Each structure stands twice: as structure tokens, then as C-alpha cells.
């Protein structure tokens, strides 16, 4: 078995691409892609470097999407090896980004190389959308590239996002959708006063309690075949002066909805305001939408990848929408079929992040067979 994917993954891990710094990773990819005849377009927005590369001018367009940026290492002294010096031990490749998601990036490239070597005159087009802004605030990365492509009516038929999706074994999980994320910054106002004279004050913490209880107990929806019910959770509460004898004048809550396609942004906002107003609260509420939910029903793309996984691993992959958000939420705006598939995710964002070496070349082969299933074997 070739070690091309492993070698490229090691090269990428060696570049300390802490978000939003690409640290030269995309140039490494570009050099390989230019040799394959890809048209290269580098899009820079702010401090973010994005790559749009395409080979072919016809449809269907199959896009591989991912990110070169990684999260901070945490305490380096607690790593067993330098996080940006790829290390192999006990059958695993260690380094920041090994699982999330430089191994997937390397597998994209070697899969495409192998495919083109066998099918130089393939149908359709192959594209890559790579950003250095996925692990950060994600405002100048994939979302901006998608806006650019949409403005010139350049759409995608199929998209594979290389996020680490597997839980126990390579091939066990494909993500065919993600929940949306809607956050609220809620301030409930009262009247500050001496705690010994409560009749002269209004305690906003006491006022908010019944409303919070109702919000926490509300059934926002029942979910559906692919998504669990929508959830509402408080992440932060801040109030008080620090003194024990002062009733605070306001209380601030940060909360978040992880919502399914069974709800909409409008329905969640409307119901929240109804509850707050029913409890006669004096409040201010600011909303932030991080991403809408997206869902790819089992169709050509999911079927092509499921078949490829079965051929390589003998595993029957399961479709899942669990987990957090990904850049798939942006790509779904110009692509009706988006799935995520990559290596096991047990160590992502952790100290000593790693992937099993025995999974690396099979991952590339799965991507290659998926291309064949979509562009050759239709």
C-alpha cells in the first residue's frame, strides 16, 4: 500500500496553521493541483486565505471542502511530542490537525490524483473549496467563497466535507446534515437596591426564574427522521456587584438553540419572545445566527459514499446529523447534496491529537471510489 497520503499529511501538520493563519498549507495543495490541470483561484478576505480550485467546466460538479486552520495546541508541555512535528508511534500519527483535518486534506489530493491517473477524460468537474477560517469566527472563509460563487452563478452538485465523522472505526459514520445554531444574549432588567430593603428594589434574577424554567421545559419541536428535537440551553449567567448585600440591577444570560429542520429561526425567536413577554419582563434580547440546519436525504452522493465505504472497509456506514456545526452549513446554500466524511474524531481538539495510520490510505481510497461512483459509474 502506498504511503503518499501519510507523507502529505505529515507535511501539512508541520505547518503551524493556527486559525486563521494558513501557514503555507494551501500553497502545498496548489502545487499538486496545478500538475493535475486545476484552475486555481486564491480568495483572500481579511486575514483569511481561501482556495477555490476546479478541473472541468461541465456538470455535475463534485467538490471537496475543508480547512487548513487548526485550534491552538493547549499546554505544549503536556503533549507527548511537539504538536507541529508529526510523530509516529504505536501505529498512530500524532500532531495538531492530524484528525481535524489535515489527513482528510491529504486524502483529498491523493484520491484525486489516483482518479485522474485512471480517468483523465472524466465526466463533470472536480473542485476543492479550502479555507483557513473554519476553527475561528468563520466570517471570512467558506461563507465568503460561497457568496462569491453564488454571485457568479457557479453552483455545486455534490460536496464532501472532510470533517472527522467516525466514532469507533473508519467508515462507521457519514454526516448527512447538521443542526442549526441560534444564540441569544438576553438582559433582564430590575432595580438595584439594598438587600435589607427588598421592597425598594426589583431582583431581576427572581423575575427571570419562572421564564427560564418555562424556556427550559418547552418542547420546541419533536425532531424528525434525521434530527433529534431542538434543544435550548443556557451557557452563561452574569449578575451582581460581588457584594452580598446588594440586589443586582440586571442579569445577563447567554443561551443557544441547536435546532432541527423541524423548526425555523422565525419560529424559535417568536416563541421565545412570547414566553418572555408573558412573564412581563423588562428585557433586551440580541440574536446571533451561526448557521441554519441542513439536510441531505439519502440520494446519489450518500449512496455513492456508502458504497465506497463498503468496498474499502466492508462496513455499512450509518447516516447521522449529530455533533456541532461545520462549513457544510454555508455550502448547502449552493449545493443540494452535502455530506461530511473523515477519520475518527475521538482526539480532535485534544492534547496528543492523532489518527490511526492504518486508516489513512483507506480514507483516500474511499474518496477515490466515491468520485468514480459519481463521475464514471453513473
Report which of 175, 177, 158, 157 is spatially closest to residue 166, judged by C-alpha positions.
175
Q: Reduced to 3 states, what is the DSSP secondary structure of residue 372?
A: helix
pLDDT of residue 332: 94
Strands 177-178 and 294-295: antiparallel
Cα(33)–Cα(11) distance, integer angstroms: 16
pLDDT for 1 beyond 50: no
pLDDT in tens, 103-141: 999 999 999 999 999 999 999 999 999 999 999 989 999
pLDDT in tens, 26-49: 999 999 999 999 999 999 999 999
Q: Is 134 known to be catalytic?
A: yes
Mean pLDDT of 283-294: 94
Q: What is the reported pTM?
A: 0.88
The H or E element that residue 365 is part of is helix 357-375
State the pLDDT confidence band at 297, using cuts at 50, 70 and 90.
confident
Q: Is 172 known to be catalytic?
A: no
Report which of 5, 29, 60 is spatially closest to residue 355, judged by C-alpha positions.
5
pLDDT in tens, 323-342: 888 899 999 999 999 999 99
Cα(306)–Cα(318) distance, integer angstroms: 8
Of 21, 22, 69, 113, the catalytic one is 69
Of 134, 140, 250, 372, the catalytic one is 134
Q: Reduced to 3 states, what is the DSSP secondary structure of residue 87?
A: strand
State the pLDDT confidence band at 169, using cuts at 50, 70 and 90.
very high
Amino acid at each position: 500500500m502506498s504511503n503518499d497520503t501519510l507523507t502529505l499529511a505529515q507535511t501539512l501538520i508541520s505547518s503551524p496553521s493556527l486559525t486563521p493563519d494558513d501557514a503555507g498549507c494551501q500553497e502545498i495543495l496548489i502545487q499538486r493541483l496545478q500538475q493535475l490541470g486545476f484552475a486555481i483561484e486564491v480568495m483572500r478576505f481579511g486575514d483569511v486565505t481561501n482556495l477555490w480550485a476546479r478541473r472541468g467546466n461541465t456538470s455535475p460538479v463534485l467538490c471537496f471542502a475543508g480547512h487548513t486552520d487548526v485550534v491552538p495546541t493547549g499546554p505544549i508541555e503536556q503533549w507527548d511530542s511537539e504538536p507541529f512535528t508529526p510523530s509516529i508511534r504505536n501505529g498512530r500519527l500524532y500532531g495538531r490537525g492530524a484528525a481535524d483535518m489535515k489527513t482528510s486534506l491529504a486524502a483529498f489530493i491523493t484520491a484525486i490524483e489516483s482518479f485522474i491517473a485512471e480517468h483523465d477524460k472524466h465526466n463533470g468537474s472536480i473542485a476543492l473549496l479550502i479555507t483557513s477560517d473554519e476553527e475561528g469566527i468563520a466570517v471570512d472563509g467558506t461563507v465568503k467563497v460561497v457568496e462569491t460563487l453564488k454571485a457568479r452563478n457557479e453552483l455545486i452538485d455534490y460536496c464532501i466535507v472532510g470533517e472527522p465523522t467516525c466514532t469507533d472505526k473508519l467508515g462507521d459514520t457519514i454526516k448527512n446534515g447538521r443542526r442549526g445554531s441560534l444564540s441569544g444574549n438576553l438582559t433582564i432588567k430590575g432595580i438595584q437596591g439594598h438587600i435589607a430593603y427588598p421592597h425598594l428594589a426589583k431582583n431581576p434574577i427572581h423575575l427571570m426564574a419562572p421564564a427560564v424554567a418555562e424556556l427550559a421545559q418547552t418542547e420546541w419541536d419533536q425532531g424528525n427522521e434525521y434530527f433529534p428535537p431542538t434543544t435550548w440551553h443556557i451557557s452563561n449567567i452574569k449578575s451582581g456587584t460581588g457584594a452580598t448585600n446588594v440586589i443586582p440591577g440586571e442579569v445577563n444570560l447567554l443561551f443557544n438553540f441547536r435546532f432541527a429542520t423541524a423548526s425555523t429561526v422565525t419560529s424559535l425567536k417568536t416563541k421565545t419572545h412570547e414566553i418572555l413577554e408573558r412573564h412581563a419582563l423588562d428585557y433586551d434580547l440580541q440574536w446571533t445566527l451561526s448557521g441554519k440546519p441542513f439536510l441531505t436525504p439519502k440520494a446519489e452522493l450518500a449512496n455513492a459514499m456508502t458504497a465506497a465505504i463498503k468496498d474499502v472497509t466492508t462496513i455499512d456506514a450509518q447516516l447521522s446529523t449529530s455533533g456541532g456545526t461545520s462549513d457544510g452549513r454555508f455550502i448547502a446554500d449552493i449545493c443540494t447534496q452535502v455530506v461530511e466524511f473523515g477519520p475518527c474524531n475521538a482526539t480532535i481538539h485534544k492534547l496528543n491529537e492523532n489518527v490511526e495510520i492504518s486508516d489513512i490510505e483507506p480514507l483516500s481510497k474511499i474518496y477515490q471510489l466515491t468520485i468514480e461512483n459519481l463521475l464514471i459509474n453513473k
